[in-house]
Chains A and B, each alone.
Chain A
Amino acid sequence: EDKVVQSPLSLVVHEGDTVTLNCSYEVTNFRSLLWYKQEKKAPTFLFMLTSSGIEKKSGRLSSILDKKELFSILNITATQTGDSAIYLCAVDRQGAQKLVFGQGTRLTINP
């Protein structure tokens, strides 16, 4: 059975800290891994990773994929209170539009 596991499930840090969120997966016919940020409503897209070892970066956020060890990390540096959200990892599989999501990591940034 296809599975995506995120850790930690919950994380509380102070503003300015750096955080690393983890996502491991076991799926058949892997195509890509996606990260989403969910604040109060709909998840919003952050990154799509398809190739191993290539870092995607957007401002203070960055992510990398390891296809050999079947995991990805999402890094956030110099965190701000606006980074407080649930971060979702999902894996897309070839041949079907069926994203498999992890449980999410709830990140809280305290001022």
Chain B
Amino acid sequence: NAGVTQTPKFQVLKTGQSMTLQCAQDMNHEYMSWYRQDPGMGLRLIHYSVGAGITDQGEVPNGYNVSRSTTEDFPLRLLSAAPSQTSVYFCASSSITGELFFGEGSRLTVL
């Protein structure tokens, strides 16, 4: 019962460093998405994908890149980390019904 798996769970970066948050799902869901969660602001959509090879921007895409080469995987890349990207990141997947299944989150700190 893996569901949605995110790695790493914790990461500390220095300003300007790059990194990739990995996300994999084993439910054969077409839709995958990345959210960030900041105190008092709920979850905000960064990028999403409706299938392999198709991605689109959400509410807060700046500073992040994504790709979707397979149905299972949807990595999120930070090209040049900034302190404003300190947050908890959630990957999620869903079938066509729209109910999202979330990974356990990745806590990122940018110094």
Contacts and interface: CB of A to CB of B under 8 A. Distances in A.
A98 B48 contact: yes
Interface residues of B, number: 24
B56 to A, nearest CB: 8
Interface residues of A, number: 24
Contact of A98 (B4, B41, B45): B45
A88 B105 contact: no
The majority secondary structure among interface residues of chain A is strand
B60 interface: no
A100 B31 CA distance: 15
B107 to A, nearest CB: 10
Interface stretch (A13-21, A40-48, A59-67, A69-77): A40-48
Interface of B: 4, 31, 33, 35, 40-45, 48, 50, 58, 90, 94, 97-105
Interface of A: 4, 6, 9, 31-32, 34, 36, 41-45, 48, 88, 90, 92, 97-104
B42 A103 contact: yes
A31 B98 contact: yes
Given A34-B98, A92-B98, A97 B31 contact: yes
B104 A42 contact: yes
